């Protein structure tokens, strides 16, 4: 079994805004294209042109309808590794392949140590692990560890691929261990939540819930307009307005 660092210097993670995610899959494919040539390359695709195409993806978006007080809403829900503070996928690993970095908290898999036993994917309640049947190792989100520090990229590009690509700007990245960091402040301001906190794995990634949507209008707008009351009705009103 693999042990966890007692603490990490930073808690790097993602903050995902469910208020604005339109389900466009940009984070999904930008992740795929970066990572299929990246640290865990390749992200193998089996039967890519066949009956049951199935590949390794570090990030997937699910769309479903959720009941609300007034009916239902359609939710787009991006799902990837949450880089938990106490991840079961690490503690369950028999070889030390699955580990949490003490510097930045990123949960990674060391492919050389992975025996493909899949215990980690059974242990992860978030379904964030992806077994590559061709290479026979477990793969997962690296938080783009090969982008965020990459000296071969311009500094402004050193963010996870999904954060750079997201067209609505629904994805954010930073140190969630630092209460003063922009992501921490965003989580505080928008009352960001953990996914299934009751399980106790203390996810680092946070989700921002949809903003309250007034069923009615802008608070200050009237519920309906009143007809003009000038003498002569509407045309009288026009006349008065033009005379003014």
Partner 1 sequence: MTSSPAGANSRPSQRPLNTTVAPPEGDGVETSPKVADTVKRTTCYMCACRCGIEVHLDNGKIRYIGGNRKHPVNRGVLCGKGSAGIMQHYSPARLRKPLLRTGERGSGEFREIEWDEALKIATDRLANIRATDPKKLAFFTGRDQSQSLTGWWASRFGTPNFAAHGGFCSVNMAVAGLYTIGGSFWEFGEPDWDHARYFLLFGVAEDHDSNPIKIGIGKLKERGAKVVSVNPCRTGYNAVADEWVGIRPGTDGLFVLALVHELLKAGKIDLDYLIRFTNAAHLVINDPGAADDGLILRDAAGEPLVWDRASKSAKPANTRGVAPELAGSFEVGGRTVRPSFQLIAERYLDDAYSPDAVAERCGVPADQIRRIAAELAHAAFDQAIELPIAWTDMNGVRHETMTGRPVAMHAMRGISAHSNGFHTCRAIHLLQVLLGTVDVPGGFRSKAPFPKPVPPGPKPAGKDGGKPDSPLSDMPLGYVHAPEDLLVDENGGPIRIDKAYSWEAPLSAHGLMHTVIRNAWAGDPYKIDTLFMFMANMAWNSSMNTAETMKMLTDKEADGTYKIPFIIYSDAYFSETVPYADLILPDTTYLERHDCISLLDRPISSADAPGDAIRYPVVEPDRDVRAFQTVLLDLGARLGLPGMVADDGSPKYRDYADYIVNHERRPGVGPLAGWRGEIGDEHGKGAANPDQLDRYIENGGFWKYELPEEARYYKMANRAYLDFAHRMGFIDKAEPITFHLYSEVLQRFRLAARGHGDVRPPESERARIDRYFDPLPIWYTPLLEADVDTGALPLHALTQRPMHMYHSWGSQNAWLRQITNENRLFVHHATAAKHGIADDDWVWIESEHGRVKGQVRLVDGVNPDTVWTWNAIGKRHGTWGLSKDAPEATRGFLLNHTISDLLPAKGAQRRYSNSDPVTGQAAWFDLRVRLVKCAPAEAGMTEPQFPDLPAPPDMPKSPKVLSYGRLFRKLRAAAS
d(CA 211, CA 21): 12
Q: What token pair was written down for 40? A: 């865990």
State which of positions 197-226 bind partner 1 (CB under 8 A): 210-211, 213-218, 220-226
φ/ψ of residue 138, rounded to 5: -85, 140
CB 177 within 8 A of CB 11: yes
Q: How far is the CB of 199 from partner 1 (least distance, A)?
A: 26
Which of 4, 45, 116, 125: binder of partner 1 (CB under 8 A)?
A: 45
- Per the CB < 8 A criterion, the answer to whether 130 and 140 are in contact is yes
Q: Does 188 bind partner 1 (CB under 8 A)?
A: no
| 69: contact with partner 1 by CB under 8 A | no
- Spatial distance between the Cα atoms of 44 and 53, rounded to a whole number of angstroms: 11
Of residues 70 and 198, the one with the C-beta less far from partner 1: 70
Footprint on residues 155-184 left by partner 1 (CB under 8 A):
155-159, 161, 163-175, 181-183
Exposed, middle or buried, 130 (CB in 10 Å: 0-12/13-18/19+)? buried
Q: How far is the CB of 10 from partner 1 (least distance, A)?
A: 8
Number of residues in the chain: 244
Taking the complex as a whole, the smallest distance from the CB of residue 64 to partner 1 amounts, in Å, to 10
Region of 53-61, 77-85, 87-95, 193-201 interacting with partner 1 (CB under 8 A): 53-61
Size of residue set near partner 1 by CB under 8 A: 112
Examine residue 99 and tell whether it contacts partner 1 (CB under 8 A): yes
- CB 34 within 8 Å of CB 26: no
Which DSSP symbol is given to 47? S
> Please, which of residues 118-157 interact with partner 1 by CB under 8 A?
134, 145-146, 148-153, 155-157
- DSSP at 209: P
Which residue in 4, 44, 121, 194 binds partner 1 (CB under 8 A)? 44
Asked if 113 interacts with partner 1 (CB under 8 A), we say no
> Which one of 13, 38, 87, 177 is in contact with partner 1 (CB under 8 A)?
38
Produce one character per residue of 175-186: b if its CB has 16 or more CB atoms within 10 Å, e if not: bbbeeebebbeb
> Least separation, in Å, of the C-beta of 198 and partner 1?
27
Decide if 115 contacts 94 (C-beta within 8 A).
yes
Residue span binding partner 1 (CB under 8 A) among the ranges 29-37, 77-85, 86-94, 196-204: 29-37
């Amino acid at each position: 079994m693999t042990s966890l660092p007692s603490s990490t210097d930073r808690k790097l993670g993602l903050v995902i805004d469910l208020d604005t995610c339109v389900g466009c899959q940009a984070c999904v494919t930008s992740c795929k294209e970066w990572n299929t040539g990246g640290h865990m390359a390749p992200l193998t695709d089996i039967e890519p042109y066949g009956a049951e195409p199935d590949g390794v993806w570090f990030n997937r978006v699910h769309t479903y309808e959720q009941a609300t007080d007034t009916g239902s809403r359609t939710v787009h829900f991006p799902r990837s590794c949450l880089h938990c503070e106490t991840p079961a996928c690490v503690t369950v690993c028999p070889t030390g392949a699955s580990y949490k970095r003490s510097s930045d908290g990123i949960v990674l898999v060391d492919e050389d140590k992975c025996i493909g036993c899949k215990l980690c994917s059974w242990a992860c309640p978030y379904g964030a692990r992806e077994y590559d049947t061709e290479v026979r190792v477990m793969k997962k989100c690296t938080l783009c560890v090969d982008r965020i520090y990459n000296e071969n990229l311009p500094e402004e590009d050193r963010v996870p691929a999904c954060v750079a690509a997201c067209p609505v700007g629904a994805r954010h990245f930073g140190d969630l261990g630092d209460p003063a960091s922009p992501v921490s402040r965003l989580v505080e301001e928008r009352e960001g939540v953990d996914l299934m906190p009751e399980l106790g794995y203390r996810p680092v990634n946070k989700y921002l819930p949809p903003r309250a949507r007034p069923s009615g209008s802008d608070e200050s707008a009237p519920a309906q307009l009143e007809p003009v009351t000038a003498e002569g009705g509407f045309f009288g009103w026009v006349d008065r307005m033009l005379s003014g």
